[in-house]
Structure 1
Amino acid sequence: MPEAIEEVREAKVPFQIIEVEGPSMVPTLYPGDWMLVQHGARVRPGDVVVLRHPFQQDLLVVKRIAERREGGWWVLGDNPGAGGDSTVYGVVPDELVLARVRGRLRHRKPWASGEGQRSPAAVLSWVFAAVRPVRSDRSASRRLRAR
């Protein structure tokens, strides 16, 4: 995944699709979901972003921006039990924030459950439920204050 981000940034392509790995953003994003990310987008508190891990910069992580702090952004995972956010590594500098997540596609398809072929209505229902924008969540700062 890190190589893909670098290739796209060098090519000046504004959007990219990336697969989610790990549970830190559940319930917003699940492992296996696909994200549509926008490079160079303005970010603000509540946005979900792709960033380089401050201590292991070959590792990309997905987190929600909680607030602006001196020196960068305070980021949190939507799944507080998963850890691995600013409570561990502190403020993330601006230059480590690579892209803003604009949408997601759920990984599970209705016809992949082993029950045979699904009706067109079931497939359409899945499409409308699976393809969603990832909206900013302003309650991230409230969760931060509650910790």
Structure 2
Amino acid sequence: MTYLAAAALLLAAGVGVGVVRRRFQLIVVRGSSMSPTYQDRDVLLVRVHRRPRLGDVVVFRMPDQHKDDGPAWMVKRVAAGPGDRVPADERRIVAESTVADGCLLVRGDNPESHDSRHFGYVPIDTVLGVVVRPVTPWN
């Protein structure tokens, strides 16, 4: 029996489903801040608890000061990580030349995105995970 066949049997039997749920989640994009990369209602496969790197698209808890009745999660691209230089257009928000330990600066792919240029640092401990890829919705 091949490894793939064994894995399929385990999943079919319900063994390992908890592992899959702990490592991956599906998140639905709301809004256009990641356009043109991701569109409103795109479904993304997110690897939970993976440490983000420069250029990764991450899902994180929305900063408290920006919560309303909207979604609790935001999807943005990592523009700078701990120890990286703060981009010039964000220095007025964070007032430092390098990103603080335990923090990220994030940006949407859409120039009109509401991101670190508006709310500053995103604590790494609020990051759910890193986007692996979009998935085709089954409807």
Fold conserved between structures, TM > 0.5:
yes
Does residue 95 of structure 2 align to residue 94 of structure 1?
Answer: no
Is the 1:32–1:106 Cα contact (8 Å) retained in structure 2? Answer: no
Query: Contact 1:46 / 1:65 at 8 angstroms: preserved in 2?
Result: yes
- Equivalent residue letter for 1:86: S
> Structure 1 regions of 5+ residues with no counterpart?
1-10, 113-147
Q: TM-score, normalised by structure 1?
A: 0.60
State the alpha-carbon separation in 1 of the partners of residues 25 and 48 from structure 2.
8
Q: How do 1:1-147 residues align onto structure 2 when only pairs under 5 Å count?
A: 13-55=22-64, 56=66, 59-68=72-81, 69-71=99-101, 72-81=103-112, 83-105=113-135
Q: Cα RMSD over matched residues?
A: 2.4
Q: Is the CA contact (8 Å cut-off) linking 1:35 and 1:103 kept in structure 2?
A: yes
Q: Which stretches of structure 1, 4 residues or more, deviate above 6 A after TM superposition?
A: none
SS at match of 2:117: helix
| Distance (whole Å) between structure 2 residues aligned to residue 88 and residue 59 of structure 1 | 17
**Distance change >3 Å, CA 106–CA 30, structure 1 → 2:** farther
**Alpha-carbon distance in 2 for matches of 1:70, 1:12:** 31
Q: Count residues in correspondence.
A: 98
Larger Rg: 2
Larger RCO (CA within 8 A; separation ≥ 6): 2
- Measured against aligned partners, the alpha-carbon deviations of 1:21-56 in whole angstroms (never above 9, x if no partner) come to 110000111012110001011211100000011224
